[in-house]
Amino acid sequence: MGGIEADVVSEGKRLLARAEAEGVPLRLLGGVAIRLRAPGGLPAPFAREYGDLDFVTVRRGAPLAATFLRAEGYEPHVAFNALHGNERLLFFDNEHDRQVDVFVGQFRMSHRIPLDERLELEPGTLPLAELLLTKLQIAQLNEKDVRDALAVLHGHPVGEEDGDHVNAGRVAELCAGDWGLWRTFTANLAACRDYVSRYELPPSERAALIARLDVLSERIEREPKTRGWKLRAKVGERKRWYEVPEEVAGGP
């Protein structure tokens, strides 16, 4: 064990390298993952400080991930992990006052994003489509999440494949099967579009961002909707369409 790094981005890289060496299926998500995927680094308007680390593992990998993080110097939240360990694990870096979340098989906050089958599609982080989905599934969107979402689209074109593209087909598929996710995600895309003008970017980069947001919105609307989506759409906003996740903070 080489010791926990003080810099959160460096620590994210260290843990990824150690997990790969140990055969532990871990991938980063969240702001640190978006920064690591930014070609040439983040533009100044989208750069920010990062407080914690967020990982995801496959369901079969949860015990391995828990053992791995303890060996790397992280203290488990024993009570939380006992209650919620089938979906999420929580650890603490007490020296640097940081929290590490490990989502298990899916990302579940305002909405559920399945991850198990696509977790190991790319090294290091979730695919770009899922990075964007996890940012824009938030029912109460904040400016930090807008910046992160725009950072994804600033650095990567929208297409129908993974790798260096945001896979619009994957986003559209999930939204077409879940009216609540569609409602939140499309509203947040529109909010991001409104925010573009607030950031100091060259006109060409603003135009490219808006074009990518529009391409993604149009692709989502073209996707045939499931029967479940159509039935839920009839209820609409008369019934709450998102979950309100509990905040978990503090030491074990």
DSSP 96: T
Neighbour count for residue 135 (Cβ, 10 Å): 25
Closest CA to 69 of 101, 45, 47, 31: 101
pTM of the model: 0.94
| 3-class DSSP state of 220 | helix
Radius of gyration (Cα) for the chain, nearest Å? Answer: 18
| 3-class DSSP state of 180 | helix
Q: How high is the pLDDT of residue 250?
A: 41
Closest CA to 113 of 93, 138, 89, 91: 138
The residue type of 100 is: V
Phi, psi of 238 (to 5 degrees): -70, -20
- Angle between helical axes of 30-37 and 143-155 (0-180°, round to 10): 20
| 3-class DSSP state of 185 | helix
H helix runs in the chain, sequence order: 8-22, 30-37, 62-71, 78-84, 128-136, 143-155, 168-176, 179-195, 203-222, 227-235
The pLDDT profile of the chain, 252 residues, written as one tens digit per residue, is: 569 999 999 999 999 999 999 999 999 999 999 999 998 889 999 999 999 999 999 999 999 999 999 999 999 999 999 999 999 999 999 999 999 999 999 999 999 999 999 999 999 999 999 999 999 999 999 999 999 999 999 999 999 999 999 999 999 999 999 999 999 999 999 999 999 999 999 999 999 999 999 999 999 999 999 999 999 999 999 999 999 976 544 433
Give residue for tokens 């980069």.
Answer: 205
